[in-house]
Chain A
Amino acid sequence: VVEFGNKVDQQLSTMVLSLARELIEAAIPGVLEAVPTFRSLMVHYDPAVIAFTDLIEFIDAAICGIPVVANEYPVWKLPVCYDSSVAPDLTEIASSAGLPPSQIIERHCAPRYHVYMLGFLPGQAYMGDLPEELAFPRRQSPRSKIAAGSVAIAMNITCIFPQEGPCGWHIIGRSPVRLWEKGTANTLLTPGDKVMFTPVSLPEYEILLAKVSAGEHLILQDGVAT
Chain B
Amino acid sequence: MSPALEVLAPGLLSTLQDLGRPGFQHLGIPVGGALDPTSLQAANILVGNPPKTAVVEIAYLGPTIAVDAQEVRLAVVGAETPIEILSDVSAPRGKRIERCRSIVLRRGEVMRIGALSKAAVLYLAAEGGFELPPVLGSYATCLRGRFGGWQGRALATGDRLPLRLSRASARVELCLQDFAVDAQVKFRAILGPQADYFSDASIRKFFDSEYTVCGSDRMGMLLRGPRIEHQHGFDLISDATATGCIQVPGSGQPIVLLADRQTTGGYPKIATVISADLPALGRLAVGAKISFESVTLEFAHQARCKYLKEIAEIPGKVRPLLRSNSELGADLNSQDLVGVIKT
A176 CB-CB contact with B under 8 Å: no
The SS class assigned to the B binding surface is: loop
A124 to B237 alpha-carbon distance, docked (Å): 16
Within 8 A of B (CB), among A33-49: 33-42, 44, 47-48
Pick from B29, B242, B298: contact of A122, CB under 8 Å: B29
Pick from B144, B147, B192: contact of A182, CB under 8 Å: B147
Q: Are A122 and B305 in contact (CB under 8 A)?
A: no
Q: Are B23 and A37 in contact (CB under 8 A)?
A: no
Q: Are B263 and A35 in contact (CB under 8 A)?
A: yes
Pick from A33, A40, A124, A187: contact of B23, CB under 8 Å: A33
Q: Are B262 and A119 in contact (CB under 8 A)?
A: yes
Task: Say how far A157's CB is from chain B's closest CB, in angstroms.
Answer: 9
Nearest A residue (CB) for B237: A38
| Given contact pairs A8-B237, A33-B22, A118 touches B147 in the complex (Cβ within 8 A) | no
Binary contact readout B15-57 vs A (1 if CB under 8 angstroms, 0 otherwise): 0000000111111110000000000000000000000000000
Q: Are A120 and B28 in contact (CB under 8 A)?
A: yes
Contacts of B147 in A (CB 8 A): 122, 182-183
The SS class assigned to the A binding surface is: loop
B308 CB-CB contact with A under 8 Å: yes
Contacts of A182 in B (CB 8 A): 147
| Given contact pairs A119-B264, A120-B262, A165-B144, A37 touches B27 in the complex (Cβ within 8 A) | no
Contacts of A6 in B (CB 8 A): 237
Contacts of B204 in A (CB 8 A): none
B89 CB-CB contact with A under 8 Å: no
B240 CB-CB contact with A under 8 Å: yes
Q: Are A48 and B304 in contact (CB under 8 A)?
A: yes
A222 to B129 alpha-carbon distance, docked (Å): 46
Task: Say how far A26's CB is from chain B's closest CB, in angstroms.
Answer: 15
Pick from B28, B148, B193, B298: contact of A118, CB under 8 Å: B28
Task: Say how far B145's CB is from chain A's closest CB, in angstroms.
Answer: 6
Nearest B residue (CB) for A118: B28
| Given contact pairs A8-B237, A37-B264, A52-B297, A122 touches B28 in the complex (Cβ within 8 A) | yes
Pick from A38, A184, A187, A190: contact of B238, CB under 8 Å: A38
Binary contact readout A140-179 vs B (1 if CB under 8 angstroms, 0 otherwise): 0000000000000000000000010100000000000000
Task: Say how far A105's CB is from chain B's closest CB, in angstroms.
Answer: 26
A1 CB-CB contact with B under 8 Å: yes
Q: Are B263 and A185 in contact (CB under 8 A)?
A: no
A180 to B30 alpha-carbon distance, docked (Å): 13
B336 CB-CB contact with A under 8 Å: no
A69 CB-CB contact with B under 8 Å: no
B136 CB-CB contact with A under 8 Å: yes
Nearest B residue (CB) for A20: B26
Q: Are A42 and B240 in contact (CB under 8 A)?
A: yes
**What is the interface size of chain A, counting residues whose CB is below 8 A from a CB of the partner?**
39
A32 CB-CB contact with B under 8 Å: yes
Q: Are A48 and B305 in contact (CB under 8 A)?
A: yes
Contacts of A190 in B (CB 8 A): 26-27
Contacts of A82 in B (CB 8 A): none
Contacts of A41 in B (CB 8 A): 240
Pick from A34, A40, A47, A183: contact of B26, CB under 8 Å: A34
Q: Are B239 and A40 in contact (CB under 8 A)?
A: yes
A104 CB-CB contact with B under 8 Å: no
B321 CB-CB contact with A under 8 Å: no
A48 to B297 alpha-carbon distance, docked (Å): 13
A79 CB-CB contact with B under 8 Å: no
Task: Say how far A168's CB is from chain B's closest CB, in angstroms.
Answer: 10
B→A interface (CB under 8 Å): 22-29, 135-136, 144-148, 192-193, 237-242, 262-264, 297-298, 300-301, 304-305, 308
Q: What would be 21 A-B contacts, judged by CB atoms less than 8 Å apart?
A: A32-B23, A35-B240, A36-B26, A37-B239, A37-B264, A38-B238, A38-B239, A40-B239, A41-B240, A42-B241, A47-B305, A48-B304, A48-B308, A118-B27, A119-B240, A122-B147, A163-B146, A182-B147, A185-B24, A185-B136, A191-B26
- Extra A-B contacts (9), CB below 8 Å, given A7-B237, A52-B301, A122-B24: A33-B26, A35-B25, A35-B26, A40-B240, A118-B28, A120-B263, A120-B264, A121-B262, A187-B28
